[in-house]
Amino acid sequence: MTDQPYSLTIKELVRHLSTHVNLGLTDREAQKRLAIYKANIIPEKGVKNKWQIFLSQFVDPIIYILLGATILAMAYRDWAEATAIVVVILITVSIGFVMEQQALRSLDSLRKISQTQVLLIRSGTRVKIKATMVVPGDILLLYPGDLIVADARLIEQDSLLVKESSLTGESISLEKHTKVLPNKLPITEQHNMVFKGTMVSGGTGKAVVTATGIKTQLGKIQNLGLQAKQEQTPLEKKLNQLSKRLIALTFILTILIILTGYIKGQDLFLMLQTGIALAVATIPEGLPIVATIALARGMVRLSKKQVIIKNLEAVEALGATNIICTDKTGTLTEDRLQVHSIQWNKEKVLEVVHKNEVEFYGLSQEMAFNEIMVCSILCNDAPLQDTNGPADTVDVALLSMTRNCGYEPMAIRKGFVEVDQIPFSTERKMMATLNKGSHKYVTHAKGAFETIIDRCTTELKGTQKIVLEDRDIWVKLVDQMASKGLRTLAFAYSEWSTRPNAAQMLEQLTFLGIVGFIDPARADVKETIAIYKRAGIRVVMITGDHLETAKKIAGDIGILDKSDTMNGAMSASDLGDLMNIDSKKASQILHTNVFARVVPEQKLNLVKFFQKHGNIVGMIGDGINDVPALRKAEIGIAMGLRGTEAAREAADMILKNDKFTAIETAIHQGRVIYRNIRQFVVYLLSSNFAEVLSIGLAALWLLPSPLLPLQILFLNLITDIFPALALGLGKGDKGIMSLLPRKSFEPLMTPNHWYATLLYGLAISTGVLGITAYGYFILEVTPQTTNNMAFYTLILAQLLNIFNIPKAGESFLRNEVTKNYWVWLALVICLFLAYAAIAYKPVANALSIVPLSWLQYKIIIVFAFSTLVLAQLFKRALFVIKKVDL
């Protein structure tokens, strides 16, 4: 492959790459090349293979401690103990390995679903394929909003503009051409090339792929190590922080327990072993990975509901989202436009809906009406024949209007050839064309009323051009149309005897009139907005449309309450500098739910403004100009069918079926996952706390130890992992959408979570210490039998602890935990493993198990269940008396 494709002629390059400008590669050839050049991806740095994942499990404080324990056991020549600990190490490492693999696999499959698609020519036909399958020699077709997926040399272009900020940092769009360039140019000057990772901001083009994957300019840069390391999500950071604090606390407690036991006359070796085992058991090493699994599973579940979440962080942010910014057209409305009425000559208005052709007869004699029709045909990008191709819905509706009014677009376009165009853009809010007739040039312009009328000096009265003096009448007429919820568009034109230049084209236009479109609200939107309201989430409409149209639609679907219609909406021109405003204005904006006539830059500023005031923002966008706002928002949301590839790339979440309502499913899922994570943290910590407390107090009170070192390790493997995982996979309950969103600054563990942890831990250790004292002092059984009774009580009590997790306000029997079948499965597995361990002699010996009588088993059951009763009594009493819902 040449490394300077920009310096070759197109012919040379195409020959060099053995491809064809119009036919592209054949599928077979493409397959062959894929095998040679490999998939078009830049491998992420730091991705571990299976062995690395396995070995990395050993790099863990828990394993170090366990290795220390093995050495200690060997030093005391306790070979059985040493072997048992080695087995524990192997099991721990294997569990970590399997869980990490599982998490990575889920993430990987999601990455595949969200892959970028690209349009290219293969075997002479246009096909859409996954970007990863692109190979050198492929012919790419480029359209506005497309993401460029490989380095390619341009073969054809029409006003092509490319944004290369991701590669060069340059934020303005660059014009591209197809001419040959000299050798040895830096990429910033290779204007006949397009590069992977950049995007088309305007115009169209066709290019032949010269490099893919790691060989692209982006690949080379990333290979230099410039790519940011994959960051931990905030949740992972919080969990790691929590783990670290708990490790420190555990060490202090362990040392205290060892010292106390030793001073009180317990055996030093036993105390050292107990200390080590306790440290292992109480370090919540599984937290981050269980959290990752819970998040990843949530993503998989959402993908089945047509919502693609691209990163774990987004799932977490979803649960805290309290503002959703959305555009109007296509998201809240159907975007199936139909012309409703036409207004010209101030007093003439025609409702076109439901009228037939006959009624329009004679109207073409009215000059303004006729010019609006001609303008609708000429200042229009919709193709006349291929009605299935991509086209602006405004333009399509206008063409159909002209046909209904008896016009023949084809004939008119033939008579007036387009010689120049100012394309529509959201910033400009208008479009204009210059057309050449038989002996004149005509400018046709259509767009937002304010932008069009500002350029007009005259208007039509009959066939006369008169000075446009009374703008206010037109303003009133537009407001009237808009307040019915119609989308409005203004029309103007001007005639020239000689060709005007681009600047002149839009000067001194003659105003023609306005057209109003119906764009009905989507059926299910109103209901969804009501759900958001109940869930404490504000929906803010940020639209490019007219204020009155926006207000009417917003009122219809419930974004604006009846009482809000005066204050809840504002035009973007009143926003001012959002980063420098007084508190009164800030509060007004924070209470505004509709922003009209907004340009993309203001969208970004609004997102920043909301974030600055402590909000977690979800932002829906579809254009290339929305990319900065999509990136800035905590949750950037793009549509799978509508909108540009660039928006989908920048977004965190893609709604595959374009349904606004799908966001609700995602938020619900986000909330459930966060709650699940909190639940298993409370479950794990309270169980661990019970172990520390039981052993510590037993040592202090000179009771037989309720837990021997290997028993602790056994518990750690059994009762911790399965129930915690099961809680992580819970589906939550419907009521979660009637709660307010989580506050962004809220810690993972709120005071209530800590109280719950302490309460459940205390309840369990009361039962364990109770049975220890009962067995030792009242039944007067041997220390070993006492220990066994306490050990079994602890196993059972920890398993029962899972039923403490639902809120006190919920029913004890029917709640999200009892409805979670994973929980029941986990309990069955744990009980089975416990039974198997006790029944299997070698393990039973290692765990110092002795036979117990039926009476002793019954006592165990009574003590174990009493821990649940105790915790529930306290929890429900707190709820009734103090209204604290743990």
**Of 122, 196, 297, 328, the one binding ligand ATP by CB under 6 A:** 328
CB of 55 to ligand ATP, least distance (A): 52
327 labelled catalytic = yes
Q: Does 678 interact with ligand ATP (rule: CB under 6 A)? A: no
Q: Does 448 interact with ligand ATP (rule: CB under 6 A)? A: yes
**Of 288, 447, 704, 806, the one binding ligand ATP by CB under 6 A:** 447
Q: 3-state SS of 196-259? A: CCCEEEEEEEEEEEEECHHHCHHHHHHHHHHCCCCCCCHHHHHHHHHHHHHHHHHHHHHHHHHH
Map residue 667 onto helix, strand or coil: helix
Q: Does 489 interact with ligand ATP (rule: CB under 6 A)? A: yes
CB of 208 to ligand ATP, least distance (A): 32
CB of 488 to ligand ATP, least distance (A): 6
Using the minimum distance from each CB to ligand ATP, give the nearer residue, 609 or 863: 609
What is the Cα–Cα distance from 799 to 823, expressed in whole angstroms? 10
CB of 126 to ligand ATP, least distance (A): 24
CB of 422 to ligand ATP, least distance (A): 10
Question: Residues of 749-780 as b/e, b for ≥16 C-beta within 10 angstroms?
Answer: beeebebbbebbbbbbbbbbbbbbbbbbeeee
In Å, the largest CA–CA distance within the chain is 117
CB of 574 to ligand ATP, least distance (A): 17
Interface mask toward ligand ATP for 349-388; x: CB under 6 A: ----------------------------------------
What are all long-range contacts of 608-613, with beta carbons under 8 Å and residues at least 24 apart?
608/578, 608/579, 608/632, 609/578, 609/579, 610/323, 610/325, 610/540, 612/579, 613/586
Using the minimum distance from each CB to ligand ATP, give the nearer residue, 448 or 847: 448
CB-based closest residue to ligand ATP: 544
Window contacting ligand ATP (CB under 6 A); options: 94-102, 293-301, 446-454, 587-595: 446-454
Using the minimum distance from each CB to ligand ATP, give the nearer residue, 541 or 725: 541
Nearby residues of 560 by Cβ (< 8 Å), 6 or more positions away: 551, 554, 568, 569, 593, 594
Nearby residues of 878 by Cβ (< 8 Å), 6 or more positions away: 808, 884, 886
**Of 392, 556, 564, 885, the one binding ligand ATP by CB under 6 A:** 392
Using the minimum distance from each CB to ligand ATP, give the nearer residue, 482 or 794: 482
What is the Cα–Cα distance from 694 to 770, expressed in whole angstroms? 10
Site for ligand ATP in 745-774 (CB under 6 A): none
**Contact status, residue 160 vs residue 142, Cβ threshold 8 Å:** yes
Nearby residues of 505 by Cβ (< 8 Å), 6 or more positions away: 420, 422, 432, 434, 443
What is the Cα–Cα distance from 276 to 740, expressed in whole angstroms? 43
Window contacting ligand ATP (CB under 6 A); options: 114-122, 232-240, 324-332, 639-647: 324-332
**Of 100, 138, 313, 395, the one binding ligand ATP by CB under 6 A:** 395
Edge-to-edge strand list for the sheet holding 594-596: 307-309, 653-655, 635-639, 617-620, 323-326, 538-542, 594-596, 569-571
CB of 201 to ligand ATP, least distance (A): 16
Interface mask toward ligand ATP for 54-83; x: CB under 6 A: ------------------------------
Using the minimum distance from each CB to ligand ATP, give the nearer residue, 392 or 574: 392
What is the Cα–Cα distance from 548 to 571, expressed in whole angstroms? 10
CB of 427 to ligand ATP, least distance (A): 8
CB of 100 to ligand ATP, least distance (A): 43
Question: Residues of 268-278 as b/e, b for ≥16 C-beta within 10 angstroms?
Answer: eebbbbbbbbb
Residue with tokens 């109007």: 328
Using the minimum distance from each CB to ligand ATP, give the nearer residue, 199 or 448: 448
206 φ, ψ to 5°?
A: -135, 135
Using the minimum distance from each CB to ligand ATP, give the nearer residue, 444 or 632: 444
Using the minimum distance from each CB to ligand ATP, give the nearer residue, 429 or 819: 429
Per-residue DSSP letter, 498 = S
Site for ligand ATP in 150-209 (CB under 6 A): none
What is the Cα–Cα distance from 215 to 150, expressed in whole angstroms? 9
What is the Cα–Cα distance from 711 to 699, expressed in whole angstroms? 16
**Given the residues 138, 146, 151, 327, the one annotated as active site:** 327
Using the minimum distance from each CB to ligand ATP, give the nearer residue, 135 or 372: 372
Per-residue DSSP letter, 719 = I
451 φ, ψ to 5°?
A: -70, -35
Q: Does 516 interact with ligand ATP (rule: CB under 6 A)? A: no
CB of 402 to ligand ATP, least distance (A): 15
CB of 198 to ligand ATP, least distance (A): 24
Interface mask toward ligand ATP for 406-435; x: CB under 6 A: ------------------x-x--xxx----
Instruction: Provide DSSP, 64-101.
Output: HHHHHHHHHHHHTT-HHHHHHHHHHHHHHHHHHHHHHH
Q: Residue 489: which of 440, 429, 542 has the closest Cα?
A: 429
Using the minimum distance from each CB to ligand ATP, give the nearer residue, 430 or 797: 430
Using the minimum distance from each CB to ligand ATP, give the nearer residue, 352 or 843: 352
Window contacting ligand ATP (CB under 6 A); options: 86-94, 445-453, 659-667, 668-676: 445-453
CB of 487 to ligand ATP, least distance (A): 6
HSE toward the beta carbon, residue 583, CA cutoff 13 A? 0
CB of 335 to ligand ATP, least distance (A): 8
Alpha-helical (H) ranges within 537-661 are 547-557, 583-590, 600-612, 627-632, 645-650
Window contacting ligand ATP (CB under 6 A); options: 157-165, 323-331, 685-693, 828-836: 323-331
What is the Cα–Cα distance from 315 to 851, expressed in whole angstroms? 49
Window contacting ligand ATP (CB under 6 A); options: 133-141, 169-177, 243-251, 327-335: 327-335
- How many residues bind ligand ATP (CB under 6 A)? The answer is 19
Q: Does 484 interact with ligand ATP (rule: CB under 6 A)? A: no
Using the minimum distance from each CB to ligand ATP, give the nearer residue, 661 or 848: 661
Question: Residues of 233-252 as b/e, b for ≥16 C-beta within 10 angstroms?
Answer: bebbebbeebbeebbeebbe
Site for ligand ATP in 531-590 (CB under 6 A): 543-546
Residue with tokens 């990575």: 104
Site for ligand ATP in 287-316 (CB under 6 A): none
What is the Cα–Cα distance from 287 to 29, expressed in whole angstroms? 49
**Of 446, 455, 552, 875, the one binding ligand ATP by CB under 6 A:** 446
Per-residue DSSP letter, 147 = B
What is the Cα–Cα distance from 145 to 222, expressed in whole angstroms? 24
Residues that bind ligand ATP (CB under 6 A): 327-329, 392, 394-395, 424, 426, 429-431, 446-448, 489, 543-546
Residues carrying an active site annotation:
327
